[in-house]
Chain A
Amino acid sequence: MSVDLGFITRIAPTLAQGLATTVALAIPAIVLSALWAIPVVAGLMARSRLVGRITADYVELVRNTPVLVQMFFIFFGSGVLGFPLSGFVSALLALVLQNGAYVAEIYRGGIRSIAQRQAEAGVALGLTKRKTFAIVVLPQAIRKVIPSLSNQGILIIKDTSLAATISVAELTFQARLLADRTAAVFEIFFTLALFYLALTAIFAGAMRLVERRVRIA
């Protein structure tokens, strides 16, 4: 068994590039999903039945179709329509549309779970409905949903690997090319798995820190 540390140094730059792209895709996807979910949950809980129905239909549609199909749809569809979106943008859009719907459901569950009495207490103290929501209900809801959001974030990080199929040069894409170039296929995929384990662990750890900080009310 010969030791070839040079091999590792040769493949490291390519994998690092892939890692950078993965992170560059994952972070905006997570942030934008959390933001996009806000109007979605507003739509779901809207007073107008029409708005509620349309939003619910959108949520049902993206929750029941694979992300891969959504990515292909946006990528090829934009090309055919004449304003081709890059693989990166297509993947980002698909991820945000999908996960925004899931996060909206998480928000809704969190808001609903804060006891009715909290809202009534706020009104009893003389706060308007809107102020009650903003000061009393929302902070408690956020604290409650952080674990679920953390899970969703991990799913987003894992789904960035699908972007490889629409030509985004992220981790999985680079690993495949490397595996084709060298004979160490087994080792490279092993390393790929380790990278993702590390990424998700770091993210989960960061979310745990956030959770601890918001717990001290």
Chain B
Amino acid sequence: MNASWVRQVRTAAFVLLAATGIAALAAGTAIAQSATSRLDEIVKRDKLIVATFSTAPPFCYTDEGGKLVGFDIDIAQLIAKSLLGDANKIEFVKVTSEGRWPAVNSGRADIGIATTTVYPDRALHVAFTHPYIDSGISILVREDAKVDSLAALNDEKFTLANLSNPQMADRAKRYVPKAKVLTFDTPSAEFAAVKSGQAQAMQMDTPVLNWYAANNKGLKVLPESLGVIQGNAIFMKPGDFTLWLWMDTMVREMTQGSRYAEYSEIYHKWFGRNPPPERFYGQSGK
């Protein structure tokens, strides 16, 4: 087996692969529809599998003992209790920022509850319920950076820490194009960069930043928010209407219906205040 034979084989393999690759890129991707619902599987299995983060306080993070806690965790447990009767019939799959989509699309997890904001381009690859909590994006800054507004941050001597998703990259370009950007996998990595001084600011969901600012010295949240009020929702593999309908119904019951009391309790526990009031159609007598 001489060297030129090997080289010929390799070149042939490369050309074949390249041709397949280009053909595949030029074609579209289709999402398969399945005949049975994931919901039936969950009930049969008697356990709910939820994809979540482990580094986004106060929504889903690990405490010092290594236990997974947070608002999203408690909400997930409320859902498990409502579906299967027991808040402990649940298993969490910890994922990274981009790992959350394949986690539900591949079937590794049933649903995802991971401080995930609803955006139209994300809705291309997952199905969202209605939001279960409001969110927005803000910027956390170090007090010693002496920055008081978004406009002041837009300067090339500042570095902004981002999460590795395209929405954050777009926002950074739109609001602070002159600042330098560092991109990380997890909110805790962003936060470590800010604490150590490698970045002077970080971009993240408003409740998460409020929690960080409240629990650490020398940090504050800028008053402007990047964009408008947005919503965090449960996401799952698209095409499964039965599962989606149940989850969406559950979200609406939590925020506006029969599960409002438990939802309020969880909301109060993590944010120290009441959630938006239940809607009232006037028949309940209140």
Genuine A/B complex: yes
Interface residues of A, Cβ cutoff 8 Å to B: 1-5, 7-8, 11, 76, 79-80, 82, 84, 87, 165, 167, 169, 173, 176-177, 179-188, 190-191, 193-194, 197-198, 201
CB distance from B248 to the nearest CB of A (A): 22
Cα–Cα, bound, A3→B24 (Å)? 9
Let me know if A191 and B25 touch, CB within 8 A.
Answer: yes
CB distance from B181 to the nearest CB of A (A): 8
Let me know if A169 and B183 touch, CB within 8 A.
Answer: yes
In the complex, identify which listed stretch (B141-149, B191-199, B225-233) lies at the interface while the others stay far away: B191-199
B98 touches A (CB below 8 Å): yes
Question: What's the A-B contact tally at a CB cutoff of 8 Å?
Answer: 82
Let me know if B26 and A194 touch, CB within 8 A.
Answer: no
A76/B196 contact (C-beta < 8 A), A180-B101, A201-B14 known: yes
In the complex, identify which listed stretch (B108-116, B164-172, B213-221) lies at the interface while the others stay far away: B164-172
13 further contact pairs, Cβ within 8 A, besides A180-B164, A193-B17 = A2-B27, A4-B26, A7-B26, A76-B192, A76-B196, A79-B198, A84-B196, A176-B98, A176-B164, A183-B29, A183-B124, A187-B21, A190-B20
B102 touches A (CB below 8 Å): yes
| CB-based nearest A residue for B27 | A1
Residues of A within 8 A of B222 (CB): none
Residues of B within 8 A of A186 (CB): 24, 29
Cα–Cα, bound, A180→B126 (Å)? 11
CB distance from B240 to the nearest CB of A (A): 17
Cα–Cα, bound, A4→B165 (Å)? 24
Let me know if B14 and A197 touch, CB within 8 A.
Answer: yes
| CB-based nearest A residue for B170 | A181
CB distance from A151 to the nearest CB of B (A): 15
B22 touches A (CB below 8 Å): yes
CB distance from A53 to the nearest CB of B (A): 34
Let me know if B193 and A79 touch, CB within 8 A.
Answer: yes
Cα–Cα, bound, A165→B185 (Å)? 7
Cα–Cα, bound, A209→B193 (Å)? 44
CB distance from B185 to the nearest CB of A (A): 7
Residues of A within 8 A of B25 (CB): 7-8, 11, 184, 187-188, 190-191
Let me know if B164 and A177 touch, CB within 8 A.
Answer: yes
Select the residue from A8, A79, A87 with max chain B CB neighbours within 10 A.
A79
A8/B164 contact (C-beta < 8 A), A84-B197, A198-B14 known: no
Residues of A within 8 A of B69 (CB): none
B12 touches A (CB below 8 Å): no
Residues of B within 8 A of A198 (CB): 14
Residues of B within 8 A of A2 (CB): 27-28
Select the residue from B25, B124, B193 with max chain A CB neighbours within 10 A.
B25
Let me know if B183 and A3 touch, CB within 8 A.
Answer: no
Residues of A within 8 A of B64 (CB): none
Let me know if A167 and B102 touch, CB within 8 A.
Answer: no
From 147 to 173 in chain B, residues with beta carbon under 8 angstroms from any chain A beta carbon are: 164-166, 169
Q: Among B17, B24, B29, B183, which residue has its beta carbon within 8 angstroms of that of A167? A: B183
Cα–Cα, bound, A165→B96 (Å)? 12
CB distance from A75 to the nearest CB of B (A): 8
B211 touches A (CB below 8 Å): no
Let me know if B21 and A194 touch, CB within 8 A.
Answer: yes
CB distance from B139 to the nearest CB of A (A): 18
